[in-house]
Amino acid sequence: MYDYIKGTLSNKANTSKGAYLTVETGGGVGYLTEVTPRDFSQSPDTGSGVKVYTVLLHREDKMSLCGFLRREERDIFNILISVSGVGSKMALTLLDEFHSSELIGLVISGDFKELTRAKGVGPKLAQKIILELKDKLMNYQTKEPIKISADGKVQDDQSIEDAQMVLASLGYERNEIKNAISKAIVVLNEKAAAEEILKESLKILSI
């Protein structure tokens, strides 16, 4: 329903139940959004302008908003909560412990032990997250592969194709993916792994 909310940061609250930002928009409406502790610490001072990418959660007893300062983290949050056994609190915990590119890298490499660094994530849940997310991220097919050119050479490498599929699964448009990966492979070496390409591409897309 809401892609993002842009307005004035009117209040910040870090409580035992979670970290929250209130964004006031035109008409004097304030939207309370739950955020990760990292986004809370990186958010501007109250009274400053802010843009928060949002997810509307609708439960039987209430409706609530989760917010993110970066679009890619919002998109990964949506994929995380699609895993059975992972609710919004657990997804926020994971995105607080790991940057989005790091989390994707752990899923692709199957490093479930590293995922258990996040509070409340045991080995069984970590393996389940990797099993379900890897399938969602790596089996996303676009209509046709995007040819990426760098320094006049067409790149059709498996690492680039893997990075392309993950970005597409996160909802990025074809032209956004091509632009980001093209810029990423200019600064990386030609044998860069998919995780490295993703990390650099997400950095570019978040600007």
Give 111-142 pLDDT, tens digit per residue. Answer: 899 999 999 999 999 999 998 888 777 665 54
Percent of the chain exceeding pLDDT 70 equals: 89
Percent of the chain exceeding pLDDT 90 equals: 42
Tell me the pLDDT band of 144, cut-offs 50, 70 and 90: low
What is the C-alpha to C-alpha distance for residues 154 and 157, in angstroms, rounded to an integer? 9
Task: Provide the CATH topology of domain 148-205.
Answer: Helicase, Ruva Protein; domain 3 (1.10.8)
Q: Cα 13 from chain centroid?
A: 23
pLDDT for the residue numbered 142: 47
Q: Cα 103 from chain centroid?
A: 9
Domain with CATH 1.10.8 in the chain: 148-205
Give 34-88 pLDDT, tens digit per residue. Answer: 999 999 999 999 999 999 999 999 887 889 999 999 988 998 899 899 888 899 9
Q: What is the pTM of this model?
A: 0.76
Class of domain 4-68: mainly beta
Domain with CATH 1.10.150.20 in the chain: 71-138
Q: Bridge-partner residues for 52, per DSSP?
A: 5
> Candidates 1.10.150.20, 3.40.630.30, 2.160.10.10, 1.10.260.40; correct CATH number of 71-138?
1.10.150.20
Domain with CATH 2.40.50.140 in the chain: 4-68
